[in-house]
Chains A and B, each alone.
Chain A
Amino acid sequence: MSFILQNLWLIPVLPLLAAGISALLKRPNRSLAAGLAIGSMGASFLLSCMAFAATHGKHGAASRQAHNFDWFALGDTVVRLGWVLDPLTAAMVVMITFVGSLIFIFSVGYMSHDENFTRFFCFLSLFAAAMLGLIIANNLLLLFMCWELVGLASYLLIGFWFHKPSAAAAAKKAFITTRIGDVFFFLGIVWLYSETGTLLFYDSGRGCLEQDALAKMVAHTTIGGLAASSAIGLLLFCGAIGKSGQLPLHVWLPDAMEGPTPVSALIHAATMVAAGVFLVARVYPLMEMQQAGVSEPIPLTAVTWIGALTAIFGALVAVSQTDIKRILAYSTVSQLGYMMMGLGIGGVAVGMFHLLTHAFFKALLFLGSGSIIHGCHEEQDIRRMGGIQKFMPVTFATYAIGMMALSGVPLVFCGFWSKDEILHSAWHYGPSKIPFFLGLGGAFLTAFYMTRQMCFVFAGKYRGGHDAAHDDHGHSHSHGGAHSHDPHESPAVMTLPLQILAACTVLLTLVSTPLWPWLPEYLLGEAAHVDAAKLFNAGTLTLLVVSGVVVAGGIGLGWWFYGLLPAEKPDEKDPLEQQFPEQFAWSRGKFFVDELYAATFVKWNARLGELCHDLDRCVLDLLVSIVGWTTTGCAHVAKLFDEFVVNKLFDAGCGEVRRGAEAASELQGGQIHQYLRSIGVALILFVFILAVGCNK
């Protein structure tokens, strides 16, 4: 067994240790906490690179190794845990530790004014540790534990500024919403265990994702003609829906913006939301089991459709938002839809490929927005920005790269290729062409709303700051001087991660084009070859051109709407709103999903609560009262009995106990001869008991 396989557990444990230690630190130990967190992530990154090297160059089944061990035994049932090292794991841990380290470094600058700096880094490390544990787990139970830890850490971080009611509410919302998915996820786990008797993924032939178990599950038909494998796959996917913000459980994700911006970056790029996509990729062998009589695997069909709908839905909402982070949040919802769609129709490589590239440019965008917010004195409304390009050149340049990658500007940005891969497989999707067109529409909208955002934030002149009506924002930064309200560029500790991420976003392109599709092939455990024919075959080229045109259309239209005549004042009407007021209102209102939930589920739940309360009061309370009255009545009788009969006896009894206690204390009275006597007495008594008491 290789060194790295043996020590793979260190990757999550190092950040966990950092979290544990910094939890014990006192508040003033700021640099120590940050150092621990960043150092542990750095060390994990090195280990991840070793893991990466260990899987690289191996193909097929040889690229997957698992290490299992006994956790504990209850009777004959041995619960085993373990970790697995395969390209999927390795690519994810490298991405998470790398992007995570950069986000940690960025946070040092971003959170520098916060008094709970130490606690923040403790939570960040816990978050990263949980996510890394989830990635390497070779046991669905272990994965679930880490999954819940991720949920906990996100709760703590989203609600980090818990003194803000909105942050506290957002944290609660995220926790509860994802919990809904988790209930089904857990049902799936339990069912899987009862079907296969193991939760290990890979266990040299006996794991639940291996041939024997899968064949057994697919043969077992349950409710509604579903094979057990399909039903379990659907249940597990419900967990992914909650975690990855898919319709209809996407509502928590935009609200999660209430957390500090580095947290948003971590949630949206490297951890949390990636967990759901990763789960689908991890249990892919189960998902793709095809039951007899159905043309496509049922779970994958669900994944595809939900993904495609989410992709277009997120994009539609993002078009009209005004909060810089909210736009990015809805774009994440939309991009996650793409990933799911990619998984559903193209397989593990397609979906995970987009997950990895997206992690880089979405982290870049979020950190960039953090830098902007920081520079604009905690202003998040894009209508109150504008012209920031002048003040923050580095942020502008890197943000532009992120924006182009997200929009899918052709050729030099990795986002283009990974999105193209998804559209490509959608085009060849047998059952329906609708996902393809939804995806294409989403791509168009993505380009449009990102251009809108860029124009609002960077073009024109600065609209914030001097506006008297909004001057009193409660933030009295002491930057001093006459320009105290002008935006300022962020310190190097914040811009450096941006530059590194921007560089990666471009460099990643080198290994992801169809010319040399090294990254996707690596994820599949296959070797990549330079193959020009693949790039220049007619289908690929046509699609390249089509999506290029669509993106160009989106950007052009955005520029036409927002770039030609940049807004002058913060409260101007949105140009799009002037054109399509009604549709815009729908989009601005996020299609009123939150309101719908508030009017239905939340209200029903409250009704149910009231009903229970009434039931409790009218029926149970009555019963309890009757019991109470009866008891009181009895008590009165008993009292009389007590006073005249029992008390006398009790007093006598108490005296007896007291005498007994005295006897006991005399037993322990320090008199050694009494101690010794007790041995003799015990001897005689025991012999007597054995001789008489056990006489058969």
Chain B
Amino acid sequence: MNTTDYFQLFSALAPEIIVAITALLVLAADLLGLQETPRSYRMSIAAGLTTVGCAGAVAWMFLNRTTGNWHGGMFVIDPLNETVKAVILLLTVFTAMLSVEAKFTRHCGEYFALLLLATAGMMFLASTEDLLMIFASLELVSLSLYVLVAFDKSSRQSAEAALKYFLFGGMSAAFLLFGFSLLYGLTGTTHVPRMAHKLFTLGVDPLGTVALVMVVVGFGFKIAAVPFHLWAPDAYQGAPLPSSAFIASGSKVASFYVFAKVLLLGFSQLGWGSDDSAMGGWMPLLSIVAALSMVLGNLAAIRQTSVRRLLAYSAIAHAGYMLVGFLALGGEAFASLLFYVTTYALTTVGTFGVLGVVEAQVGGDQLKDFAGLSRRAPVLAACLMVFLLSLAGIPPLAGFFGKFYLFAAALKTEGQSLPFLWLVILGVAMSCVSLYYYLQILKQVFVVEADERARPLAVPFLAHAVVVLLAAVIVLLGCAPTWLLTPLQEAIAELGW
């Protein structure tokens, strides 16, 4: 491209710019003006600014709908990634709202600034088709998240979790970069669609396979799939609660989106390996990872007594289900995948919202801390039931349709005679297993009597509002899944994938 219309580029980048500027604003406001004021006030101001910034970015995207491609795929805008970015911004807002009541830090400005920087990274991640940009934004996200995990400086667990997360993340980033560079070496380009073309003409060779596995390692870390999941339980447990919620939601959405896009655009022809090659493609590879994740995640979750660790293992299991959706990658399956990851992220944020209240008021995240919650905070208990049953995939909640569409798509793989039937059966069976541990929590909530001294919980208004809103959304999306699915399908159809 010879000339660039910088004004146009600026306008296209505006949402990201708004988020980045908000990050700086939050930091400046907190450091310059509010040091003397009480913490709750500072938290509210920072969260408010964050919300306004994110809302501004969303508003800009919806008022100023453009599509375009700058610098050969470095920055791309299409209806699909705008939707994904809107979802990410929404999750950021929810995370910010859940953070308001948190008491783990005095550095309010820094905390929200990092949250926003991570968000900006995710937005870039969603809107690029270039390996370099993917890597750079992934690093922006990861580095922000490492710090967010470490943010509770008074807690040794937090520091330990962050260090593990960082080392594990650094290692897998190294693999990812190695994989990317191999790909560049093979194809001479970092632009994903062009790379796909080149890879297709080359066929699968050993070097390409190594690159592929390395890419899977790198992204497998982000989505916490077995065997790259080891950081997740520690990080979920050690991190401050809003950070965990954000890792489990926003980061998941962005990672799944970009992982699916790289595979779909870059390796679409190599699913099964080509005929003249000795190497298999990524489909057998991912089916192994998916099966391992589903089995290990669900089985390990059964044994947990800490709800946070339980959620971490359940997240691993859900990553497994979603990987099943990868195997059918095509337009419709991609829409199902995005539907699943979006509803999953919303549900998880809601669960963490309830968990946050319980931790703050009861003092722990053990199963027994949830005893008698239905008496102590009936609304929260009801919402928690909605979330957990949705995670387990009970109709008519959103989680059911997510699983249903995903598995249905996996069964419709073209040209093959149900190659992934076994995976779908395994997935359904494992969903049954998952019901056991979700019901374990609900049993504590609804059946087990609370301690006699237990009094009703004082639920902060904001947490209440967020949780109820999310529960309502989950029920609504369960009753009318097309509200989300149809726009996604249309956006994908427009792209012609």
Would you give 16 A-B contacts (Cβ < 8 Å), ordered by A? A70-B482, A668-B230, A672-B167, A675-B167, A675-B230, A676-B167, A676-B168, A683-B214, A686-B216, A687-B209, A687-B213, A689-B280, A690-B280, A690-B285, A694-B281, A695-B280
Q: Given that A679-B175, A679-B228, A683-B175 are contacting pairs, would A694 and B482 also be in contact in the complex, using a CB cutoff of 8 Å?
A: no
* Bound complex: CA A468 to CA B68 (Å): 93
Contact B273 A672, beta carbon cutoff 8 Å:
no
Contact A70 B486, beta carbon cutoff 8 Å:
yes
A690 (CB) vs chain B CBs: closest residue? B280
A70 (CB) vs chain B CBs: closest residue? B482
> In the assembled complex, how far is the CB of residue A181 from the closest CB belonging to chain B, in whole angstroms?
27
18 extra interchain contacts, Cβ-Cβ under 8 A, other than A676-B171, A695-B278? Answer: A72-B480, A72-B481, A668-B230, A672-B168, A678-B228, A679-B228, A682-B227, A683-B213, A683-B214, A683-B217, A686-B288, A687-B209, A689-B284, A689-B288, A690-B212, A690-B280, A694-B281, A694-B284
> In the assembled complex, how far is the CB of residue B434 from the closest CB belonging to chain A, in whole angstroms?
19
- Chain A residues with CB under 8 Å of B213's CB are 683, 686-687, 690
- Chain A residues with CB under 8 Å of B233's CB are 668
Contact A71 B480, beta carbon cutoff 8 Å:
yes
- Chain B residues with CB under 8 Å of A694's CB are 273, 279-281, 284
Q: Which of B211-268 contact A (CB under 8 A)?
A: 212-214, 216-217, 221, 227-228, 230-231, 233-234
A676 (CB) vs chain B CBs: closest residue? B171
- Chain B residues with CB under 8 Å of A70's CB are 482, 486
* Bound complex: CA A689 to CA B278 (Å): 11
* Bound complex: CA A416 to CA B175 (Å): 89
- Chain B residues with CB under 8 Å of A664's CB are 300
* Bound complex: CA A676 to CA B233 (Å): 15
B367 within 8 A of A: no
A693 within 8 A of B: yes
B172 within 8 A of A: yes
B209 (CB) vs chain A CBs: closest residue? A690
B273 (CB) vs chain A CBs: closest residue? A694
- Chain B residues with CB under 8 Å of A573's CB are none
> In the assembled complex, how far is the CB of residue A691 from the closest CB belonging to chain B, in whole angstroms?
6
Contact B167 A682, beta carbon cutoff 8 Å:
no
- Chain A residues with CB under 8 Å of B285's CB are 686, 689-690
Q: Which of B164-210 contact A (CB under 8 A)?
A: 164, 167-168, 171-172, 175, 206, 209-210
A225 within 8 A of B: no
* Bound complex: CA A664 to CA B480 (Å): 42
Q: Which of A650-692 contact B (CB under 8 A)?
A: 664, 667-668, 670, 672, 675-676, 678-679, 681-683, 686-687, 689-691
A696 within 8 A of B: yes
- Chain B residues with CB under 8 Å of A687's CB are 209-210, 213
A599 within 8 A of B: no
Name which of A73, A672, A695 has the most chain B CB atoms within 10 A of its CB. Answer: A672
A687 (CB) vs chain B CBs: closest residue? B213
- Chain A residues with CB under 8 Å of B280's CB are 689-691, 693-695
- Chain A residues with CB under 8 Å of B482's CB are 70-73
A674 (CB) vs chain B CBs: closest residue? B230
* Bound complex: CA A652 to CA B168 (Å): 36
Contact A672 B227, beta carbon cutoff 8 Å:
no
* Bound complex: CA A70 to CA B481 (Å): 10
Contact A696 B278, beta carbon cutoff 8 Å:
yes
Contact B164 A691, beta carbon cutoff 8 Å:
no
Tell me the B residues contacting A by CB distance below 8 Å.
Answer: 160, 163-164, 167-168, 171-172, 175, 206, 209-210, 212-214, 216-217, 221, 227-228, 230-231, 233-234, 273, 275, 278-281, 284-285, 288, 300, 401, 480-482, 486
- Chain B residues with CB under 8 Å of A693's CB are 280, 284
> In the assembled complex, how far is the CB of residue B400 from the closest CB belonging to chain A, in whole angstroms?
12
* Bound complex: CA A664 to CA B299 (Å): 12
> In the assembled complex, how far is the CB of residue B29 from the closest CB belonging to chain A, in whole angstroms?
37
- Chain A residues with CB under 8 Å of B234's CB are 670
B168 (CB) vs chain A CBs: closest residue? A675
* Bound complex: CA A683 to CA B212 (Å): 10
Those 4 A-B pairs whose CB atoms lie nearest each other, nearest first: A694-B280, A675-B230, A682-B227, A690-B280
- Chain B residues with CB under 8 Å of A72's CB are 401, 480-482
Contact of A690 among B163, B275, B284 (CB under 8 A): B284
- Chain A residues with CB under 8 Å of B273's CB are 694, 696
- Chain B residues with CB under 8 Å of A686's CB are 213, 216, 285, 288
Contact B278 A691, beta carbon cutoff 8 Å:
yes
Contact A675 B164, beta carbon cutoff 8 Å:
yes
> In the assembled complex, how far is the CB of residue A79 from the closest CB belonging to chain B, in whole angstroms?
10
> In the assembled complex, how far is the CB of residue B209 from the closest CB belonging to chain A, in whole angstroms?
5
Contact B172 A679, beta carbon cutoff 8 Å:
yes
- Chain B residues with CB under 8 Å of A689's CB are 280, 284-285, 288
Contact B228 A672, beta carbon cutoff 8 Å:
no
> In the assembled complex, how far is the CB of residue A142 from the closest CB belonging to chain B, in whole angstroms?
13
Contact B275 A696, beta carbon cutoff 8 Å:
yes
* Bound complex: CA A37 to CA B230 (Å): 54
> In the assembled complex, how far is the CB of residue A138 from the closest CB belonging to chain B, in whole angstroms?
17
* Bound complex: CA A696 to CA B274 (Å): 10
* Bound complex: CA A45 to CA B396 (Å): 31
* Bound complex: CA A54 to CA B104 (Å): 59
- Chain A residues with CB under 8 Å of B172's CB are 679
> In the assembled complex, how far is the CB of residue B375 from the closest CB belonging to chain A, in whole angstroms?
13
- Chain B residues with CB under 8 Å of A679's CB are 168, 171-172, 175, 217, 221, 227-228
A669 (CB) vs chain B CBs: closest residue? B230
* Bound complex: CA A332 to CA B171 (Å): 80
> In the assembled complex, how far is the CB of residue A70 from the closest CB belonging to chain B, in whole angstroms?
6
B164 (CB) vs chain A CBs: closest residue? A672
* Bound complex: CA A667 to CA B234 (Å): 12
* Bound complex: CA A70 to CA B231 (Å): 43
* Bound complex: CA A514 to CA B216 (Å): 81
B280 (CB) vs chain A CBs: closest residue? A694
B212 (CB) vs chain A CBs: closest residue? A690
Contact of B206 among A668, A682, A691 (CB under 8 A): A691
> In the assembled complex, how far is the CB of residue B336 from the closest CB belonging to chain A, in whole angstroms?
12
* Bound complex: CA A70 to CA B487 (Å): 13
> In the assembled complex, how far is the CB of residue A132 from the closest CB belonging to chain B, in whole angstroms?
19
- Chain B residues with CB under 8 Å of A691's CB are 206, 209, 278-280
* Bound complex: CA A667 to CA B229 (Å): 11
* Bound complex: CA A691 to CA B205 (Å): 10
- Chain B residues with CB under 8 Å of A71's CB are 480, 482
Contact of B228 among A668, A682, A696 (CB under 8 A): A682
B274 (CB) vs chain A CBs: closest residue? A696
A670 (CB) vs chain B CBs: closest residue? B234
* Bound complex: CA A678 to CA B275 (Å): 32
- Chain B residues with CB under 8 Å of A683's CB are 175, 213-214, 217
* Bound complex: CA A667 to CA B364 (Å): 25
- Chain B residues with CB under 8 Å of A678's CB are 227-228, 230
Contact of A675 among B231, B281, B300, B481 (CB under 8 A): B231
- Chain A residues with CB under 8 Å of B486's CB are 70
- Chain A residues with CB under 8 Å of B401's CB are 72
* Bound complex: CA A664 to CA B213 (Å): 24
* Bound complex: CA A70 to CA B486 (Å): 10
> In the assembled complex, how far is the CB of residue B41 from the closest CB belonging to chain A, in whole angstroms?
34
* Bound complex: CA A73 to CA B480 (Å): 11
- Chain A residues with CB under 8 Å of B206's CB are 691
* Bound complex: CA A686 to CA B486 (Å): 37
* Bound complex: CA A695 to CA B280 (Å): 7
> In the assembled complex, how far is the CB of residue A357 from the closest CB belonging to chain B, in whole angstroms?
38
B382 (CB) vs chain A CBs: closest residue? A24
* Bound complex: CA A694 to CA B231 (Å): 30
> In the assembled complex, how far is the CB of residue A548 from the closest CB belonging to chain B, in whole angstroms?
55
B233 (CB) vs chain A CBs: closest residue? A668
* Bound complex: CA A694 to CA B278 (Å): 7
- Chain B residues with CB under 8 Å of A682's CB are 217, 227-228
> In the assembled complex, how far is the CB of residue A23 from the closest CB belonging to chain B, in whole angstroms?
12
* Bound complex: CA A672 to CA B167 (Å): 8
Contact of B163 among A667, A672, A681 (CB under 8 A): A672
> In the assembled complex, how far is the CB of residue A324 from the closest CB belonging to chain B, in whole angstroms?
43
* Bound complex: CA A664 to CA B300 (Å): 10
